[in-house]
Structure 1
């Protein structure tokens, strides 16, 4: 078996949430991704042109992570490259996200999605 046969690729990242529909609505609209499958317990969003999907899974008694993370509950977050930080933050808040407090500086915006997950917006030019 060649080395290439032993590699793995990320097919999907799944976020836990208390309610699937509001999270699916927010992320599909904000990212411009299609809701490929949706039930009360699970949704899968797919990007245009393929690539890893975003899953949303209902978890009973879900406890969202904290920002800032002082208790060790935040395991990871999404970093999203955008052309205009202020415009993207305004769009996200109009869709149901909220700005986190505190903010880490001028080159990032930390927001909290409707299910309580922190995510970051950053200038796309910084990513090459």
Structure 2
């Protein structure tokens, strides 16, 4: 016997993407500057200390949390549960700017000509490229 429901299937959208690091404010400021966005809001913990920082362009939202016990992955040895891929029209200029903002460039670069791996100020890897296309 097949059971069908007349109720519609719930459909959701992603409200925000959340990231943890040793200093949420530093991460928020880094990614806001990297993307040309702004830190739009701060959220305090139970003691009134800001520990969460909302960064947005008006349509996409990232939240950066301060996690006292945060440990950056030992990449590439540690597998990553996820990371960001950021696209820029001028990748070499973006790389220079991101390094000036506090990113670092690890020696291990598995992307060849396709992407560059950088580490954000918390030590978490992210990639930069010209973006993806169907021919990529």
Question: Which TM-score applies when normalising by structure 2?
Answer: 0.81
CA distance in 1, matches of 2:66, 2:75: 21
Match of 1:17 in 2: 21
How high is the TM-score relative to the length of structure 1?
0.86
Tell me by how many angstroms 1:17 deviates: 0.7
CA RMSD of aligned residues (A): 1.6
Structure 2 Cα separation of the partners of residues 65 and 9 of structure 1: 28
Question: For the residues of structure 1 that align with 2:75 and 2:107, how far apart are their CA atoms?
Answer: 7
Which whole-Å CA distance do the structure 1 matches of 2:72 and 2:127 have between them? Answer: 16
Write the distance in 1 (CA, Å) between the matches of 2:60 and 2:74: 26
Question: Gaps spanning 5+ residues in structure 1: where?
Answer: none
Residue in 1 that maps onto 2:53: 43
Cα distance in 1, alignment partners of residues 70 and 15 from structure 2: 24
Query: 1:118 and 1:102 mapped to 2: Cα distance?
Result: 11
Q: Which runs of 4+ in 1 moved over 6 A?
A: none
Picking from 70, 84, 91, the partner of 1:78 is 84
Indicate the structure (1 or 2) with the bigger Cα radius of gyration.
2
Q: CA deviation at 1:101?
A: 2.0
Q: Larger strand proportion, structure 1 or 2?
A: 1
> What does residue 33 of structure 1 align with?
37
Once the two structures are TM-superposed, the CA of residue 86 in structure 1 deviates from its matched residue by 1.2
State the distance in 2 between where 1:108 and 1:71 align: 19
5+ long unaligned stretches in structure 2: 1-6, 44-49
| Paired residues, number | 121
8 Å CA contact 1:67–1:100 kept in 2: the answer is: no
